[in-house]
Amino acid sequence: MAAHKTYPHHLERTLTTITVYTKPDCPQCTMTKSWLDKNNVTYKTVDLSEDPQALAAVKGLGYMGAPVVIVSRGDTRDESHWYGFRVDLLKEFCVSEGAAA
């Protein structure tokens, strides 16, 4: 399930925050974080097994598994989110212009 919006590439990337909601022993979580690390993308990690409020919020978005990646541009009306290890969406939303992925 991928629910995302399309944004113009000229948006200011410095205002973007990326949060990866994870759980223990999650191969797709590890792959997502490794991809972000490899591409020098700054992100925040939230362990769903330790944060009941975050778990409720992720479930409220309709997700039942991890990882859930949320890319926010400072406003909940201007965010993208998806479930799983999605290189296509990571490239689209998380790599600054001109960076090789």
pLDDT in tens, 79-91: 899 999 999 999 9
pLDDT value, residue 96: 56
Mean pLDDT of the chain: 82
Letter string b/e over residues 39-68, b meaning 16 or more CB atoms within 10 A of that residue's CB: eebebeebbbeeeeebbebbeeeebeebbb
Q: Considering the entire predicted model, what is its pTM?
A: 0.78
Q: What is the mean pLDDT of residues 35-63?
A: 95
Place of tokens 């598994």: 65
CATH 3.40.30.10 fits 16-94, yes or no: yes
pLDDT value, residue 79: 85
Q: Using pLDDT thresholds of 50, 70 and 90, give the confidence band for residue 76.
A: low
